[in-house]
Structure 1
């Protein structure tokens, strides 16, 4: 069987099958819940050609293999080493016992937002194509659809396809959140669609309606409830989904099977819907606006400091998994203001990690290291940084630090220039398509900084430490 020997060697290096409580895999990594991480022979593990790095995060020991290969290695491991196949939920349940409250909270957010990330990234790429066609200043004073009106229909269709994921974002979050909380995913979708029903005042029009005093309301026995939707909002559907899951599970344990179809879903949705419009929605909508207004004010007043700090902290947050929490913040910013100033810094941070890896590739004498650094650098520039970070940069430390220096400088620069992204896209070189076209020049300068600075620093130090790269 392909990769059978490699799978056996990996299991041996992490302490044998008896040291593994549960094992699964994601897009690029094998994920283990181990009994004792002290039994792991890290040197033996990372000496294996197929392994690009290893680290511990969220209570799991993770081995970086690479996209497309990891699932084959995992299947070989299941077949040849006697380890029982486990779901991600089982591994998370076992590893979650070792986490503190903050880590568990971050893991919950990651579990909810990672499954919907492909839809959001796809939306970002398609919106980038629409920006090229519909915005002036890219190929001249006029937009492409103004110079060539026959392209207007195509641009409009692309815009509708691209905007769908963000327009119905609460439905996507509702589906994923209900799955995470143990409820029915279908009810989560329905809950999300309820919150963006066309009969409700669009959330993006709420501010203007509030100033004019034209916010529609329901009168519930004398209680005035705002009749508004929650387009682009994150917090309302998150809390409402948690409540919906709890009510559904409570009812399923107590209602006869023969009438569950007639009772559980209608009652759960009705109770959750009322409580969401009356209590959960208004409170979380206000909290979301506070978060948005606070961040906007902070970055407006202290742009250079804010960009510098976020650029420096993003890569270390990836190690801990805390970066997933900022996806929710980005989506909240987009939903409230139509753009985000945080995501462009993320894209540059990924490019910086790739540039540092490319410097190691150029300086290294060892063929395996050259190959690993080259492929992982390309991966980082396309938005997947784990192979570069854990396989190369953290291994030698100074490339990782050089990448942080570059991303912090670039983060300060693009924040000072008020570079904004209209959506979350591919966090690397293709990220340019998510940037507002008027900010492209500043973003290109930021890209130059995160390519040149990490590369020069890493290469200069690598030449002095050439023996460690042999």
Structure 2
């Protein structure tokens, strides 16, 4: 099936000679092509498995949905590599500094999302078990689930170190080692700061606290960035015959020292500033901020940069003074609203193709994956996207006003209930009210605004 889709798709994209590079994310296949005029967009959109197409950053992107896009990607890659010795080259489209920075963060976190989602769901399951007393809190099974759920967050710097090193063009396994250094068992876990004080090393006239960085993001990002620069410099200086031994040795030693003495403390300071500012805005302008962010979040999704927000969410969870995520419920309202607007399109449109796409795409949005409904339906018709923004703003304002929070990140929509409910029934009730406000108001706003019908 997937091979047949790839065979049908490749000629419509201009053939493999027209393709420079192919990548994919959770729901989309991305083509960088030599000649955009050779792409038969109409024919691609009429393919039964395609949920929509669009251009971004000079890339032609096709929405297939989660669970299928990676399989089609493998088949397309295999077809492209047949009788082809030239490897695809990487995309190098010009972007401004802020966009490039945010996109880099996004590309680092996208591969890690499945691990974060799995851990978040496990945390939610544990929370519901405790809330409803399904089994004894001293059950060995519950202890085992707790190990499963916390592992991804404990080794998060290792996961980020691996992914970031790949993104920065350096050895990903060395990047993982740097993450391991920052989470070494001899370093005090930051969650223990309230009851314990980290030991201090006296090294070269410096006082180095043996502080760990489990569950944090910024320290490992800065450390691996420095590591990549050191590694690239050494590759220019060290002969090829010695690079396998000398480069990793020096890189780990120098980067590890810098990570524990400079980057870790500096990143912790930066993280505290970020969380302080976010908490200040949330406490004193929460409703207004929820309205603004809930309304504008979908615009950020259009750029694909929303994954970079994991840095801020992880900082909130890692901060002992906060320890919860109050941003994610706002993002969730924006996603749910897109589903509500999509349902309005289904009931109002007479276009059979739109009806076929809008129902599964809307349900996907309620489950936290919004690219199909955004790019396949709402954005094309424009006014449903505006209706969804209205719903997201109203829902975001409500959950911010009611101080709805989660104990993880990576989940929105219905699956997010699992990381909402463990923080209290009241928290859950207000989340569901916000959910309803976002979906229903987006549905009504879209019906009122209307939209221009697409031709069959």
User: TM-score by structure 2 length?
Assistant: 0.89
Distance of aligned partners of 1:65 and 1:207 in 2 relative to their CA distance in 1, 3 Å threshold: same
How far, CA to CA, are the matches of 1:159 and 1:177 in structure 2? 27
Q: CA deviation at 1:427?
A: 2.1
- In structure 2, which of residues 316, 329, 336 is the aligned counterpart of residue 344 of structure 1? 329
SS at match of 1:149: coil
Task: After TM superposition, give the deviation of residue 187 of structure 1 in Å.
Answer: 1.6
Give the structure 1 partner of residue 56 of structure 2: 57
Q: Does 1:125 align with 2:121?
A: yes
| 1:282 has 2:265 as partner | yes
Distance 1:364 1:236, change over 3 A: same
Using the TM superposition, give the Cα deviation of residue 293 of structure 1 relative to its aligned residue in structure 2, in angstroms. Answer: 0.8
Aligned to 2:440: 452
CA distance in 2, matches of 1:110, 1:191: 20
Residue by residue, what CA displacement relative to the aligned partner does 1:391-415 show, whole Å, maximum 9, x if unpaired?
A: 0011111111111111111111111
Q: What does residue 98 of structure 1 align with?
A: 94
Shift in CA distance, 196/39, structure 1 to aligned 2, threshold 3 Å: same
For residues 363-374 of structure 1, the aligned pairs below 5 Å read 363-374=348-359
1:405 matched to 2:401: no
Q: Gaps spanning 5+ residues in structure 1: where?
A: none
What is the distance in 2 between the residues matched to 1:115 and 1:274?
A: 28
C-alpha change, 1:201 and 1:38, in structure 2 (3 Å) is same
Q: Could you tell which deviates more after superposition, 438-447 or 248-257?
A: 248-257
Q: Secondary structure at the match of 1:7?
A: helix
Find the counterpart in structure 2 of residue 379 from structure 1. 364
SS across alignment from 1:303: helix
- The answer to whether the 8 A contact 1:122-1:425 is kept is no
Post-superposition Cα deviations, 1:345-397, rounded to whole Å, max 9, x if no partner, equal 22222221112112212222232221111111122122221110000011111
SS in structure 2 at match of 1:2: helix
Structure 1 position 49, deviation (Å):
4.5
Number of positions where the alignment pairs a residue of Structure 1 with one of Structure 2: 448
Aligned position for 1:3: 5
Counterparts in 2 of 1:254-265, with a 5 A limit?
A: 254-257=237-240, 259-265=242-248
Residues in 2 aligned to 1:197 and 1:311: alpha-carbon distance in whole angstroms: 38
Q: Do residues 75 (structure 1) and 75 (structure 2) align?
A: yes
Identify the residue that residue 184 of structure 1 maps to in structure 2. Answer: 171
Residue aligning to 1:271: 254
Deviates more, 1:227-236 or 1:247-256: 247-256
Structure 2 residue ranges without an equivalent (≥5):
none
Please point out which of 111, 121, 134 is paired with 1:115. 111
The 5 A counterparts of 1:29-428 are: 29-35=28-34, 37=36, 45-70=44-69, 71-72=71-72, 75=75, 79=79, 93-94=90-91, 96-135=92-131, 139=132, 144=133, 148-149=135-136, 152-206=139-193, 214-257=197-240, 259-336=242-319, 337-428=322-413
Q: Cα RMSD over matched residues?
A: 2.9
**For structure 1, which segment, 119-128 or 1-10, has the greater mean C-alpha deviation from structure 2 after superposition?**
1-10
CA shift for structure 1 position 44: 5.7
Q: After TM superposition, give the deviation of residue 207 of structure 1 in Å.
A: 6.0
Decide whether aligned partners of structure 1 residues 232 and 24 sit closer, same or farther in structure 2, where only a CA change above 3 A counts.
Answer: closer
Structure 1 window deviating more from structure 2 (36-45 vs 453-462): it is: 36-45
The CA deviation at 1:274 is 1.2
1:22 and 1:86 in contact (8 A); partners too: no
Q: How many angstroms apart in 1 are the aligned matches of 2:279 and 2:52?
A: 37
In 2, the alpha carbon distance for the partners of 1:441 and 1:154 equals: 29
Q: CA deviation at 1:308?
A: 0.9
**How many Å separate the matches in 1 of 2:244 and 2:39?**
50
2:187–2:198 contact (8 Å) kept in structure 1? no
Q: Distance in 1 between matches of 2:7 and 2:205?
A: 72
Q: Distance in 1 between matches of 2:210 and 2:253?
A: 16
After superposition, the C-alpha distances for 1:397-439 in whole angstroms (9 at most, x for unaligned) are 1111111111111111111111111101432211111112341
Answer with 50-59 or 373-382: which moved more. 50-59
- The answer to whether the Cα contact below 8 Å between 2:9 and 2:44 also exists between their aligned partners in 1 is no
Give the Cα separation in 1 of the matches to 2:27 and 2:189: 39
After superposition, the Cα gap between the structure-2 partners of 1:80 and 1:163, relative to the gap in structure 1 and judged at 3 Å, is closer
TM-score between both structures, scaled by the size of structure 1: 0.86
Identify the match of residue 417 of structure 2 among 432, 442, 451.
432
Distance 1:302 1:216 in 2: 39
Residues 31-55 of structure 1: CA deviation (Å, up to 9, x unaligned): 1223455776655654555432222
Cα distance in 1 for residues equivalent to 2:137 and 2:205: 54
